[in-house]
Structure 1
Amino acid sequence: MNDMSNPPVTVEVPHNLSAEAGVLGAILYDNNAFQRVAEFLRPTDFYSIPHQEIYEVCSNMIQSGRVADGITLREHFEKADKLQEIGGASYLAELLDSAAFGPEVTDYAHMIRDFAMRRELIDIGATVQQRAFKPGPDEGGDRQLELAERQLFDLADRGSSSRGFHSFSAALKESLQMAEAAYQRDGKIAGVAAHLDALDEKLGGFHKSDLVILAGRPSMGKTTLATNIAFNAANACKREVQEDGSKKTVDGAVVAFFSLEMSCEQLATRIIAERTGINAHRIRQGDLDKHDFEKIRQATEELQNLPLYIDDQGGISVSQLSARARRLKRTVGLDMIVIDYLQLLTSTLGKSSDSRVQEITQITMALKALAKDLNVPVIALSQLSRAVEQREDKRPQLSDLRESGSIEQDADVVMFVYRESYYLERTEPQAGGDDPQSAEKWTKWRQRMDEVYGTAEVIIGKQRHGPIGRVTLAFDANTTRFGNLDRAPADDDYE
């Protein structure tokens, strides 16, 4: 039975009509006031619908070089037959009387924006509740969480999007701080170090806001290299607690690894193999003795607190990836993102009306925007076209990138993994018995195999802020590990 003595209480949503009138009056009094608030204040931020319309008309007039005052607004609304809807000419006069002055204008505008954001939060909460009570088709719990997160992050982006101009002195200060950090750090690395000396020397580490493409043909080791980089960065991670209680990374990185092809268990097995020196296949098959198992147990204990977070859900969209990365940065922290691999992502708009090239363009643009927004390096693995296999020299080049136009354009760094030994193994000539030519051919092949066995090249085909060229690393296929070479072949620098 309903209790009629306690009717439901109507709660008024956050707003302040006096502040809205103060800002509008200031703009009508002096159009220069509009320039102080236009960067962050939108018409829909006003609670009053007449105020929304007045602000929008003022905005259009001022941006087209016209004067927005009581006279011009009255003429506009009379022509549109909307003068009475906004309160009449008398209300425009009242707004002028309510005008705020000086710093009050921006203070009131921020107040209006704050109330608008709080109203949007209320609307999002109501939508989430309604969707939870009456879900639509294909709106399970996970899907509803994703939709709610997306709405919240969109709102957060709008609230923080007005970064605006930086003075050149401020830009110089940031540049000096980066150089100082590199000078004080071992190895003179400005970005997140891969702990592969030749690669770090060429790149200077992986830099904040950069989109790095790591590409290669199947079996070249691109996933292995990405896993090694992610592990090395996370293993070197050092964080300091700041005065406000937050944590700041001073070395290494908190890493998010999006594995769209391999499971988290497979990635963990690779890392354990690399740390213990035990063949990854033997670990998966359980072909271990007591000593092996003890090494694995010890490595597991050492690595259990590693700040490496793996998301192995396949088929996610770039917007889902962005939402999850933002959540990790907000809850734990985030200094580097690795994605294996680019072509397994889907765009926000899907494939219904766009070609795959257009879809990849949307994905690479979104990843570059994510790198800048979160201020972290994003390393995305990419496939190469089969054109590589048709050439005698199978070293990859930029044109071999699938859907290469957008990938090459949006990336700050493009790297290729190339193992000559992989191709040589498959072209062993016949020894030829007593045939001198066959014997000589096989001998040359054997000599070349000895030279390149256990090595891999990383070819830097594009680097926006540094040299391109090749570096040579050690590669152990048994433990899926890249490392530093004891012997260092001359690396190439070229324009």
Structure 2
Amino acid sequence: MSKSNQFLGNLEAEEAILGGILLDPNAISIVANILPVEAFGTHGNQQIYKAALELYQNNKQTDLMTISTWLSDHKVLEKIGGNNKLSQLLTRTVSAVNIDHYAALVLDKYQRRQLVAVGHTIVDLGCDTSIELEQVFEQSEQKLFNLTTNKKARFQPKPIHECLANVLNKIEQGSSPAYPTGLVDLDALIGGLIKQDLIVVAARPSMGKSWFGCYLTNYIASSIQKPVLFFSAEMSEEQLTKRFLSMHTGIDSQRLMHNQIYEEEYDSLVQGLSNLGKLPIIIDDTPASELTPTKIRSALRRIESERGELGLVVLDYIQKLGDRAAGNRAQAIGKYCGACKDIAKTFNVPFVVLAQINRGVEGQSNKRPSMADIKDSGDIEQDMDLGLLLYRDEYYNSNTSDQGIMEIIVAKNRNGITDTCKVVFDPSIGNFSDYKN
């Protein structure tokens, strides 16, 4: 018999735990948050522990009589061996002093069983040629990650009373589901960047959308000190880093790109390097042709495991992804956008996706874009929670009174109103600030 087919369990430790629970009314509290029902290797032991766990969660005693009654009421008492089985567990146990030690032994065997099961699943996935290889890697990595982090599935059916309890708890804590952007008028419109939302920021080239992505990245990383991952499918790691450095030093970004620094700027450079280096910003400049939703999930999974809860994800920009020679680009981009929404929900993080506007707006008298102007839009509009369109009048009209002003058009807002606000924007260093009349 192969090792993988042998029973991986520790019946003596399991029975010592169950006996301890029957003997000591406080014993269940030690193991309730450590051992799931599935950690027990036999159906009978699982049923006894399940009875004790449910009684404990309902603030009831876990002695011989109450557990026996629970098992009888649920028509499983005789299946586990009757009251004789419960009495044997009780008489074999001297005390519950070492119950935490026994729990560790049982948990070890349980995790080994899980590992064997995952191994078999991965073998089956590898042999199933009907599944694309990238999906095989994604599913295999997810299963191993869940196992090594002891991560339970977040998305489970829940009765409404549990949902209400979660909502009430967050209301009482006063915790906000959104992160402020630092721009007062924009926050007044959108309420900040909401966790699990897909936020699409679209504009024509040179309008400032990459700078806006950098601004949000820097602000969230600075203000809440949670990791922000910037996927740059357009700019290289060096180019993007120099943009952040320009924001922190006030040195013109065009000169930084060419490594041209004035002597009097070196103190600012040193200070900017120090400040920027402390921020939890992670840059991923995987080429657009290789950047897939699977790779994005994998990167986020690693960062979350190493650094904890994520603050923000930014992708610059979505139309760069995939095979641009493919026939139906709108459908392909829509698929990527839907995947980004799923990722936002899975990782409980706002996901900012930058997008380009069609050049058709250049021929309009009013060059302010609309949702319909997003290039290869497909399903982008239906998947997004928030749609922000950027416009600078000075780009088209040199005599405009709105010099240095960017309009942020809130064209779609699932959780609020649609309107337009103005912010002050300096494209030489990527600085955004509140507009004051």
Residue number among 286, 299, 306 corresponding to 1:324 in the alignment:
299
Match of 2:266, SS state, is helix
1:346-375 alpha-carbon deviations (Å, 9 max, x no partner):
3xxx78997222222221221111111111
The amino acid of 1:153's aligned partner reads: Q
Map of 1:199 onto structure 2:
186
Map of 2:430 onto structure 1:
480
Map of 2:167 onto structure 1:
175
Map of 2:115 onto structure 1:
118
Greater shift, 463-472 or 148-157, is seen at 148-157
Superposition RMSD in Å = 4.1
Task: Check conservation: 2:333, 2:377, Cα contact below 8 A.
Answer: no
Residue number among 315, 336, 355 corresponding to 1:339 in the alignment:
315
Match of 1:402, SS state, is coil
Task: Check conservation: 2:404, 2:426, Cα contact below 8 A.
Answer: yes
The amino acid of 1:205's aligned partner reads: G
Task: Check conservation: 2:334, 2:377, Cα contact below 8 A.
Answer: no
Residue number among 191, 206, 210 corresponding to 1:223 in the alignment:
210
Residue pairs, 1:224-263, within 5 angstroms: 224-238=211-225, 253-263=226-236
The amino acid of 1:172's aligned partner reads: L
| Alignment partners' CA distance in 2, 1:100 and 1:472 | 74
CA 1:122–1:14: 2 relative to 1, 3 Å: farther
The amino acid of 2:218's aligned partner reads: F
Map of 1:272 onto structure 2:
245
CA 1:420–1:10: 2 relative to 1, 3 Å: same
Map of 1:362 onto structure 2:
335
1:282-305 alpha-carbon deviations (Å, 9 max, x no partner):
222333222201211111012212
TM-score (norm 1): 0.61
CA 1:113–1:463: 2 relative to 1, 3 Å: farther
Residue number among 368, 389, 407 corresponding to 2:380 in the alignment:
407
Paired residues, what number?
345
Correspondence 1:469 to 2:383: no
Q: CA deviation at 1:125?
A: 8.4
Q: CA deviation at 1:267?
A: 1.6
Residue pairs, 1:74-223, within 5 angstroms: 117-123=114-120, 150-154=139-143, 160-161=152-153, 163-179=155-171, 190-223=177-210
Q: CA deviation at 1:168?
A: 3.1
| Alignment partners' CA distance in 1, 2:418 and 2:306 | 37
| Alignment partners' CA distance in 2, 1:317 and 1:268 | 22
Match of 2:379, SS state, is helix
Q: CA deviation at 1:394?
A: 0.8
| Alignment partners' CA distance in 2, 1:162 and 1:479 | 41
| Alignment partners' CA distance in 2, 1:359 and 1:13 | 47
Task: Check conservation: 1:124, 1:148, Cα contact below 8 A.
Answer: no
1:75-117 alpha-carbon deviations (Å, 9 max, x no partner):
xxxxxxxxxxxxxxxxxxxxxx96799xx9xxxxx99996763
Match of 1:424, SS state, is coil
1:235-273 alpha-carbon deviations (Å, 9 max, x no partner):
1124xxxxxxxxxxxxxx321111111112212211221
The amino acid of 2:318's aligned partner reads: L
CA 1:119–1:100: 2 relative to 1, 3 Å: farther
CA 1:112–1:293: 2 relative to 1, 3 Å: closer
Structure 1: unaligned runs, 5 residues or longer: 1-7, 19-46, 48-96, 105-109, 131-142, 184-188, 239-252, 426-445, 489-495
The amino acid of 2:222's aligned partner reads: N
1:43-94 alpha-carbon deviations (Å, 9 max, x no partner):
xxxx9xxxxxxxxxxxxxxxxxxxxxxxxxxxxxxxxxxxxxxxxxxxxxxx
1:410-441 alpha-carbon deviations (Å, 9 max, x no partner):
1110111111110113xxxxxxxxxxxxxxxx
Percent of counterpart pairs with the same letter?
27
Task: Check conservation: 1:14, 1:119, Cα contact below 8 A.
Answer: no
| Alignment partners' CA distance in 2, 1:278 and 1:182 | 40
Map of 1:492 onto structure 2:
none
Larger radius of gyration: 1
Correspondence 1:420 to 2:393: yes
CA 1:466–1:373: 2 relative to 1, 3 Å: same
CA 1:416–1:178: 2 relative to 1, 3 Å: farther
1:328-358 alpha-carbon deviations (Å, 9 max, x no partner):
1111121211111112233xxx789972222
CA 1:329–1:193: 2 relative to 1, 3 Å: same
Task: Check conservation: 1:418, 1:456, Cα contact below 8 A.
Answer: yes
CA 1:258–1:182: 2 relative to 1, 3 Å: farther
TM-score (norm 2): 0.68
CA 1:177–1:343: 2 relative to 1, 3 Å: farther
Task: Check conservation: 2:193, 2:350, Cα contact below 8 A.
Answer: yes
Map of 2:285 onto structure 1:
312
Task: Check conservation: 2:386, 2:414, Cα contact below 8 A.
Answer: yes
Map of 1:3 onto structure 2:
none
Correspondence 1:388 to 2:377: no
Q: CA deviation at 1:13?
A: 5.4
Task: Check conservation: 1:257, 1:338, Cα contact below 8 A.
Answer: yes
Structure 2: unaligned runs, 5 residues or longer: 12-40, 42-77, 87-106, 127-132
Map of 2:58 onto structure 1:
none
Task: Check conservation: 1:234, 1:307, Cα contact below 8 A.
Answer: yes
CA 1:163–1:283: 2 relative to 1, 3 Å: closer
Match of 1:394, SS state, is coil
Greater shift, 394-403 or 409-418, is seen at 394-403
Map of 2:91 onto structure 1:
none
1:461-494 alpha-carbon deviations (Å, 9 max, x no partner):
0110111110100011221222222x24xxxxxx
| Alignment partners' CA distance in 2, 1:352 and 1:280 | 33
Q: CA deviation at 1:147?
A: 6.9
Task: Check conservation: 1:150, 1:323, Cα contact below 8 A.
Answer: no
1:306-328 alpha-carbon deviations (Å, 9 max, x no partner):
01111011131111111111111
